[in-house]
Structure 1
Amino acid sequence: MNTLKVLTVTASVFAFLSAGKISDNRCSSKANDKEIVESNISNQRQILGSKDNKIQVALLLDTSNSMDGLIDQAKSRLWNIVNTLTTLKYNGQAPQVEIALYEYGNDGLKDENYIKQITPLTQDLDLVSEKLFALRTNGGNEYCGAVIRDASSNLKWDGNEKSMKLIYIAGNEPFDQGKISYKDVVSKAKTKNIYTNTIFCGSREEGIQSHWQNGASLGDGKYFNIDSDQKVIYIETPYDVKISQYNSKLNDTYISYGRRGSEMKNKQTTQDSNAEMQSASNAVERTVSKSKKNAYKNDHWDLVDKVEKDKSYISSIKEEELPSELKGKSKDEIKKIVAQKSADRDKIQKEIEVLARKRQEYIDVETKKRGNSEGDDLGKAIEKSIVELAKKNGYNF
């Protein structure tokens, strides 16, 4: 009898424990299933988040004493470079364009390697222009390896393998100066699909002897030499005046918002003036750039761009964030005004696009007539390499 009771109790306990294990296994199985589902969702989000290609360009400019001409060429060619980038397509889509700016070789920089990131990779091209026009040259030591290492490591490069990631470094001192090996950093950048292109300010042979060509070869990029003191030569076209007239109309479609909105809108016109100060043709190039939605975006201060990015934004905007012309208006009234400005902008940008295409065709014909007797400047060198590298990576125009 006692033995039977013991067996009965033991069996009951065993059954209870077994049931507990089955329950635990079921819970564990459900937990695992949940983790797998969540992992799949996370992976899908990562894929969706990186599906759009980018074209990212980092400009590394020598700002030592002798480089005033180089900086002037950069000011004159910034918008031409942007316009070249915006013509690229991948599978019929125009990738987002981002530009970063570095200076190096300037004794005034508080860094042991005399380098400074001026802007991150950004679509705030007015910021890039502002900082570019603020650059000043000063004596110093030019450490190419150090600035390439910083740019290739610290900028937010896109993870999409189909995105184009380009470094352009320009200067006139030996490429191997400094403690950081250019060979190591250029090779490491290459593993991230970052192409290093070198532009030597001097004779072609001197650039080869001082390792600038080798830097480009290791980085799968292009090597160029330029005369940094050469003035940029522009080709005027019959379409320039008309495009310039559209610039003020385009500016009228911007509605500032936020604490610094008004300041940012003023910066837009300041950079218009900076471009015009370089030349009338440069101002035209900037206007063309401003018509490119994949490059010139200002959703951090312009309500039209912000609403295009976030359709529901107006519903949550605070009264104090509005510009004076929108204060006291209802949300519906604001939505109508923004929608009208957006439509106006689209129309103006399309008209500029048509004129810009005709303008470029005219320039191409004139350039062919002249040949290459004028030589390369910074902008031409970058433009040529962009075209070659784009074709190599499956992009078209």
Structure 2
Amino acid sequence: MKTKHLIITVTLSTFALTAYGCDTSNKKTKSNDLALLQKVEEPSKSTEPKNNTVKIALLLDTSNSMDGLINQAKAQLWDVVNKFTHAKCGNDTRPELQIALYQYGNDELSYREGYVQQVLNFTSDLDEISEKLFSLTTNGGEEYCGAVIQQSLKQLDWGKNPDNLKMIFIAGNEPFDQGKLNYKDATTNAKEKEVIVNTIFCGDYQQGIQTKWKEGAILSGGDYMAIDHNEKMVHISTPYDDLIIQLNTKLNTTYIGYGNLGRSKKEKQHTQDMNAELLEEVVVVKRAVSKSSRLYNNKSWDLVDASNEADFDIESVEKEHLPNELKAKSNKEIETYLDQKRMERVEIQKEINALNQKREAYIAEKTHEETGELENALFSAIVKQAAKKNYKWE
């Protein structure tokens, strides 16, 4: 049978590679002075680096038959992010989420590289992840699973922190043992790096077993799943969708671009809103919820997020790198302006999250679940494999 409509539990279990867990030491944080920000899950000014990171590499087959898989990845990215918002370590801190992206099996990719390409290195930039997913196109080719796994192990910085949860998700529909590089060697290398390989066969469950997809997962302690990658997900519209979309537009006005990245990144933010809308209106809603979470942080180009960092000093920002509306202001006036934008953002995010709770309750009354095939496969494996890392969900 397939892994269709898996029920996501709140218990995380089985990481077979190590008995380490989330770093349980207490982290000292310097909270924002604004009392309003204490009432929501806003970013605090941390004086110490965060040790707990979930690293996920998505290896997607982009051969001719995989259009459905790519469309599911585009639409369901925000569902996965929204669920990760509720992940918590044993010391009640929140883990960071980083995602990398590879494509393989596409004729337009280099033969010398085994038709494998790194599309995106590990990043927590959600707009960048969305942009790269939308850049993917399909074209027939040879699907070498061993090669793409090995490339991701060599090229990505998986780190040596035993507290980190490190996972590969490889999805495709051709035999797992194709190509010169033996998939057994690649999965053995993954196990040595404490990286779990989870395999997602796009097709019949038994066919995936026969073509080595299950074996490829077992060798590293991962999970094997099968999905219908061509299934069209039925979304339920709610009375709250339009309100959330309107608030999303207001939310964008609280971002103050600065530096060399400011203008292009703000444009990218808008573009990814538009890309979500091209899929379906409900995807815009889910993206707006993600943008109202702790995982949507744009400190590299947004002055509001940047000012939440402990080492941020407005005096270090050169005037020419500020937006026009701030260039003539004093540092004190700029700080006041940023505080106002921060409070405005928090209020909008609170409204979006409150409406989303009503939205989810409305959906629950109409159906038992509103989840997609790829999302189920990703998250069912994640929740199953993280308990021994001391993660929990709330």
- Please state which structure has a larger fraction of its residues in helix: 1
Cα distance in 1 for partners of 2:328, 2:290 equals 34
Q: What is residue 222 of structure 2 aligned with on the other side?
A: 221
* 2:381 aligns with one of 385, 389, 395: 385
Q: What is residue 117 of structure 1 aligned with on the other side?
A: 118
Q: What is residue 44 of structure 1 aligned with on the other side?
A: none
User: What is the Cα deviation at residue 183 of structure 1?
Assistant: 1.3
Instruction: Tell me: CA distance 1:173–1:386, structure 2 relative to 1, closer, same or farther (3 Å).
Output: same
1:210 is matched by which residue type in structure 2? T
User: What is the Cα deviation at residue 234 of structure 1?
Assistant: 1.9
Instruction: Tell me: CA distance 1:174–1:49, structure 2 relative to 1, closer, same or farther (3 Å).
Output: farther
User: What is the Cα deviation at residue 330 of structure 1?
Assistant: 1.4
Q: Can you list the C-alpha shifts for 1:361-382, whole angstroms capped at 9, x where unaligned? A: 4445544379xxx9x6212211
Q: What is residue 143 of structure 1 aligned with on the other side?
A: 144
Q: What is residue 104 of structure 1 aligned with on the other side?
A: 104
Q: What is residue 201 of structure 1 aligned with on the other side?
A: 202
1:325 is matched by which residue type in structure 2? E
Q: What is residue 232 of structure 1 aligned with on the other side?
A: 233
Instruction: Tell me: CA distance 1:356–1:220, structure 2 relative to 1, closer, same or farther (3 Å).
Output: farther
User: What is the Cα deviation at residue 116 of structure 1?
Assistant: 0.8
Runs of 4+ in 1 over 6 A off after TM superposition: none
Instruction: Tell me: CA distance 1:72–1:51, structure 2 relative to 1, closer, same or farther (3 Å).
Output: closer
Q: What is residue 319 of structure 2 aligned with on the other side?
A: 319
Structure 1 portions without partners, runs of 5+:
1-47
Instruction: Tell me: CA distance 1:221–1:239, structure 2 relative to 1, closer, same or farther (3 Å).
Output: farther
Instruction: Tell me: CA distance 1:50–1:320, structure 2 relative to 1, closer, same or farther (3 Å).
Output: closer
Residue 395, structure 1, aligned to residue 391, structure 2: yes
Q: What is residue 5 of structure 1 aligned with on the other side?
A: none
1:56 touches 1:98 (CA, 8 Å); kept in 2?
yes
Q: What is residue 337 of structure 1 aligned with on the other side?
A: 337
Between structure 1 and structure 2, the one with the greater Rg is 1
Residue 87, structure 1, aligned to residue 86, structure 2: yes
Correspondence list, 1:148-297, <5 A: 148-293=149-294, 295-297=295-297
User: What is the Cα deviation at residue 149 of structure 1?
Assistant: 1.1
Cα distance in 1 for partners of 2:280, 2:229 equals 18
What is the number of residues matched between the two proteins? Answer: 345
Q: Can you list the C-alpha shifts for 1:306-349, whole angstroms capped at 9, x where unaligned? A: 11125533111111111111122111111111121122222222
1:157 touches 1:165 (CA, 8 Å); kept in 2?
yes
Between 1 and 2, higher relative CO (CA 8 Å, sep ≥ 6) is seen in 2
Q: What is residue 8 of structure 1 aligned with on the other side?
A: none
Cα distance in 2 for partners of 1:381, 1:240 equals 26
Sequence identity (%): 49
2:103 touches 2:118 (CA, 8 Å); kept in 1?
yes
Cα distance in 1 for partners of 2:348, 2:162 equals 34
Q: What is the aligned-residue RMSD (CA, Å)?
A: 2.0
Instruction: Tell me: CA distance 1:365–1:191, structure 2 relative to 1, closer, same or farther (3 Å).
Output: farther
Instruction: Tell me: CA distance 1:114–1:195, structure 2 relative to 1, closer, same or farther (3 Å).
Output: same
1:102 is matched by which residue type in structure 2? Y
Query: What TM-score, normalized by structure 2, do the two folds share?
Result: 0.82
Query: What TM-score, normalized by structure 1, do the two folds share?
Result: 0.82
Structure 2 portions without partners, runs of 5+:
1-46
Cα distance in 2 for partners of 1:279, 1:390 equals 32
1:50 touches 1:160 (CA, 8 Å); kept in 2?
no
> Secondary structure of the equivalent of 1:120?
strand
2:261 touches 2:300 (CA, 8 Å); kept in 1?
no
